[in-house]
Structure 1
Amino acid sequence: MATTGSGAPVQSATADREIVISRVIDAPPELVFEAFTEVRHLSRWWGPDGFTTTTTSLEFRAGGEWDFVMHGPDGTDYPEWITWTEITRPERIAMLHGESRGDPNAFESVLTFERDGTATRIEMRTVFPTKELRDEAAEKYHAIEGGQQTLGNLAAYVAEMAEQGADD
């Protein structure tokens, strides 16, 4: 967080529209980053506890898209769409995420992967178009808890990757 000359924290201009979630994962950034690159990885961990993911198409590159459906534990299907706006291996992924291309309520997320000794500190910073959409995501869709569970699922999957070797 930035500070003013007086040492007081400066609040981000988007703070009331943000959800920020972080976690330390016991693996190097290269391996954690790799879990985002291919369907064979994403489909194994993406989403909160109890959800599964079916990918329609995935092109992991800046300007590429990921069309997928998240299947809730109650049987509800949630169509999703992501376009990757920036990819800097293995430090940063920026994306626009909505229900479909052109979704006026799509939100921007930036994921950073920072080395923390032999581990990786991943931070997921999501900015919604409005405070109301942020509040709805947090309250109605439990986005904070779901994001924490998603990063937990990523951590568990990356641990499996590390045991098996990333190229298996």
Structure 2
Amino acid sequence: MNNDNLPKNRTLTLQRIFDAPLEIVWAAWTQPEHIANWWGPKGMETTVLEHNFEVGGSWKYAMKMPDGNEFIADGVYSEIVHHQKIVSSANFKPMTENVEIHSIFESDGEKTKFTFHCVHETEEYCKQQEQMGFYNGWGSVFERLNEFLQNT
């Protein structure tokens, strides 16, 4: 049996411990007025165009780069477990399309353990995305989230 296309071979993962209670991290991730403050790598300005936070609901964010160029990020929620897990399709056109993101939240006292999985269609596409800077890009996003949480 060929194991090349198993989810674990098509997934890139980041983990963080945020120095904020689960309820605050969850709100930052799920409420559009908060998302606009941290979504996207450093230097980007995000506008929430659509945010229907329910299973089957869609989200769409415009992300403006420092040079004025803009791109759209969008997806559809497929699973939401309150204070635990959010699963969504995601497109970050033109860089990344047809991925699934899994955001896992775990309370650890006054801190929150956060795990982010990005599942790609193929192992080859996953490797390509990693080489294009997945860890730096998403690392920057979650650093912005951390800064936002510290100032909330």
| Common fold: TM-score over 0.5 | yes
Is 1:106 equivalent to 2:122 in the alignment?
A: no
2:47 maps to 1:54: yes
Q: Normalising to structure 2: TM-score of the pair?
A: 0.87
Taking the aligned partners of 1:49 and 1:105, their CA distance within structure 2 comes to: 21
Q: Deviations over 1:124-151 (max 9, x none)?
A: 01110012222222222x1111111111
Structure of higher CA gyration radius: 1
Partner secondary structure for residue 145 of structure 1: helix
Tell me, which stretches of 5 or more residues in structure 2 are unaligned? none
Aligned residues: 146
One-letter amino acid matched to 1:31: I
SS at match of 1:49: coil
- Which residue among 102, 114, 118 is the counterpart of 2:110? 118
Alignment RMSD (CA, Å)? 1.9
Partner Cα separation in structure 1 for residue 47 and residue 129 of structure 2: 22
Letter in 2 for 1:151: F
Task: Give the 4+ runs in structure 1 shifted more than 6 A.
Answer: none
The answer for the alignment partner of 2:13 in structure 1 is: 20
SS at match of 2:151: helix
Inter-partner Cα distance in structure 1 for 2:127 and 2:68: 25
SS in 1 for 2:15: strand
Q: What amino acid is the match of 1:120?
A: T
1:78 Cα deviation after fit: 1.4
Structural mapping, 1:58-137, within 5 Å:
58-99=51-92, 105-137=97-129
Please, what TM-score do these two structures have when normalized by structure 1?
Answer: 0.80
Share of identical aligned residues, percent? 27
Residue 148 of structure 2 corresponds to 157
Structure with the bigger percentage of strand: 2
Matched AA of 2:148 = Y
Equivalent residue, structure 2, for 1:6: none
1:14-64 deviation digits (Å, cap 9, x = unpaired): 232111001000111111001122221000000111111122211111111
Using the alignment, how far apart are the partners of 2:134 and 2:36 within structure 1?
A: 19
Take 2:121 and 2:97, find their aligned partners in 1: how far apart are those partners? 7
Q: Shift in Å at residue 99 of structure 1?
A: 4.5
Q: CA deviation at 1:68?
A: 1.6
Q: Name the CA distance, whole Å, in 1 between partners of 2:9 and 2:69.
A: 29
Within 2, Cα distance between the matches of 1:98 and 1:47?
13
Structure 1 unaligned blocks of 5 or more:
1-11, 162-168
